[in-house]
Chains A and B, each alone.
Chain A
């Protein structure tokens, strides 16, 4: 959006007359291209030559959203074969496979097909030849466009407009190509975004794009099915590559409830699942390089929150009794105290001990005991010492009964 992470030059160069002229030439060339595209689009010249002009401009400036829009119009109003009710390839594929997908243009055609079987055969034959031709042109255009965008995504991974345009283009493919062809394109995107996330494992746009691609691949319109298992595996892989990848931990937190429902997991399985997640996170916390990193501690908080508020959208084990939850939480408190050994300067452990000790008192519907209060005051003083940036937060901490 603005200049991020652009270091200052060692010496601020004073422009020579020559460099001033060079810059002026660049400006003139750039503005002439902008004006030319504007004229062509205003005249509705939706041709490959104009598409090329927009490619040239967008390569210089991928933030120029109006030109991405011009490109959309070039495709939908000119270069793509017309999407009409009588010739839509999607409609053709629907009428042959009858998967139950719907589009706005399909209803009238489907009904005309079912009117008479001989008539429908003729129409279908006609569709087949048209489908081939139109898939061909549309697919070529979409593939070539995807190819044009890819290097821009690598060069400008934080540019919203590029990601949006790519999604838009693929969604156009859904409406214009046969289902299996559209699906192949999305499968290709899944591999591609995987590569992007290897390059930058925290890219916000990359993770968002992956969510969108997976949602498309899962959708009935592309004959999809749930990918929760595979995506869950993917988060495991990403976490193992880098324990500080909070994006992957987050995604995992969202996949778990879905995964367990799809597995039709019973209470015992859910209990085991929670155990294995706690083992995973405890191991991550103990791993030398990450004792004080916050990503793992936020995931720890997520797991604890599923015990404290067992129902709700992120439930792991919703039927767990209050008594069982109290037992589980108490064990975690013991485990946290063990963690302090050798990590007495880790504020996250004190933070967790303080919070969950008080939560446990609430779950037991009783006040903190004098010993617990003593512990809490000690942990609070450690927090003040270790983490003075957040002194205001520690100052707001009120132990029950202490006013």
Chain B
């Protein structure tokens, strides 16, 4: 439902006042405006991200304390309109099912407390139930039972992101038992590198985004003990650059989205204090468009809802006043994951 990028522009650091504030109401209006831009070509060119975009936008609104700022009924109707007969969800109506849009669909339905509606109105539901199980079966069938890893869809692309996506959605649906968790954990272990990080596949370079997905999957599996926390904490803390922002790999540029991938990873291993939170917060705030809302990858660039949610989630991890606390594993409000999963240690 929401547009993914543009049109706003992030601020220029030099013109910002010393005490920068989070532009809460501008961000809320920005997200609300995203689905009204059908007269822009960009809206149509980003249709393949619509389901993810809705998850990013809705999560942003929850963190901003405005969970009802998008119409609930339309949200549910949109999500269900993207479901295929297999049980999986596509990015938009008419798009093929993929694990990445399926996990977003589940997260959205959990956030608007509509899993019951999925069960009674989704594909595969009979006599008012069965919808949830079909989604679970779709995801479980994507696991390779020989290696433990997950494919993104029927064409077989494999990536540690997909293990996380599978675990995330299945655990929210209380269906994690449908897959071989220990085998997937072994696969993640085989992706570990000497620097304590994880890559997309065995042999691949450590990457902060991939590290986040591996740590979150291990946390859901109850196996965060497998991580070399000191080594990884050191590598992750070195992602912070002088400007305060974080990068994804050594000697790359900082980018607001790593405020989430790196800071959430540090949180999961208990080492968020190994970076300078104040400087990170200032960096994120400097990337806002304070007038029209939205956050960009870096100050002066175009804003989009992807960087908006990960900037806000990063600020939430840092305990920014006025934001709802975020769950570092699910990137959803803690209140909601606690409602669904109970209080986790």
Question: Which A residues have a C-beta under 8 Å from some C-beta of B?
Answer: 1-9, 12, 20, 23-24, 26-27, 30-31, 38, 60-61, 63-66, 69, 72, 160, 164, 168, 202, 204, 207-208, 211, 244, 246-247, 250-251, 253-254, 293-295, 298, 301-302, 305, 314, 388-393, 395-396
Contact B6 A3 (CB under 8 A): yes
Which of B194, B250, B276, B300 contacts A391, CB < 8 Å?
A: B276
> Residue B298 at the A interface, CB < 8 A?
yes
- Measured between C-beta atoms, what is the minimum distance from B153 to chain A in Å? 8
A-B CB contact pairs (8 Å), 17 listed = A2-B4, A2-B257, A6-B5, A8-B301, A20-B39, A23-B40, A30-B45, A38-B94, A66-B96, A246-B250, A251-B205, A293-B251, A294-B238, A295-B251, A298-B195, A391-B276, A393-B237
Q: Is the CB of B200 within 8 A of A253?
A: no
Enumerate the 6 nearest inter-chain pairs by beta-carbon distance, A residue then B residue, closest first.
Answer: A2-B306, A392-B273, A8-B9, A393-B274, A3-B5, A246-B250
B41 contact set on A, CB distance < 8 A: 23, 26-27, 30
Given A3-B5, A69-B96, A389-B275: A247 and B205 within 8 A (CB)? yes
Flag if B95 contacts A66 (CB, 8 Å).
yes
Render B79-111 as a binary contact track against A, CB cut-off 8 A, 1 for contact: 000000000001100111010000000000000
CA distance A7 to B304 in the complex (A): 12
Interface residue total, chain B, C-beta cutoff 8 A: 65
The 8 Å CB contact of B205, one of A26, A207, A294, A393, is A207
Query: Using Cβ atoms and an 8 Å threshold, which residues of chain A touch B251?
Result: 202, 244, 246, 293-295
CB atoms of A27 and B44 under 8 A apart: yes
Q: Using A66-B96, A202-B249 as known contacts, say yes or no to A305 and B9 having CB atoms under 8 A apart.
A: no
Whether B207 pairs with A204 at a CB distance below 8 angstroms is yes
Q: Is B66 an interface residue (CB 8 A)?
A: no
Output the least CB separation between A172 and chain B (Å).
11
Contacting pair A6 B156 (CB below 8 A): no
Complex Cα–Cα for A345 and B251 (A): 19
B276 touches A388 (CB 8 A): yes
Known contacts A246-B250, A254-B203; is-contact A8 B302 (Cβ 8 Å)? yes
Output the nearest chain B residue to A393 by Cβ-Cβ distance: B274
**Interface majority SS (helix, strand, loop, mixed), chain A:** helix
B121 at the A/B interface (Cβ < 8 Å)?
Answer: no
Q: Is B48 in contact with A66, judged by CB distance below 8 angstroms?
A: yes
Interface digits, B38-71 against A, CB 8 Å rule (1 contact, 0 not)? 0111001111110000000000000000000000
Question: Which one of A31, A38, A168, A389 has the highest number of Cβ atoms from chain B below 10 Å of its Cβ?
Answer: A389
B contact residues around A211 at 8 Å (CB): 201, 203-204
- Tell me which of B273, B274, B275, B297 contacts A5 (CB under 8 A): B297
Q: Do residues B274 and A390 form an inter-chain contact, with CB atoms below 8 A? A: yes
A305 and B5 CA atoms in complex are apart in Å by 43
- Least CB distance from B259 to A in Å reads 14
Contact of A246 among B94, B98, B249 (CB under 8 A): B249
**Please, how many angstroms separate the alpha-carbon atoms of A4 and B207 in the complex?**
17
- B200 nearest CB across to chain A (Å): 6
By a CB distance below 8 angstroms, the chain B residues around A8 are 9-10, 300-302
Q: When A5-B298, A8-B300, A295-B250 are in contact, do A208 and B201 touch as well, CB less than 8 Å?
A: yes
A7 to B240, CA, bound (A): 22
C-alpha gap A39/B90 in the complex (Å): 18
Residue B157 is within 8 A (CB to CB) of chain A in the complex = yes
Write the nearest CB–CB distance from A113 to chain B, whole angstroms: 29
Interfacial chain B residues near A6, Cβ < 8 Å: 5, 301-302
**CA–CA, A31 and B157, complex, Å:** 28
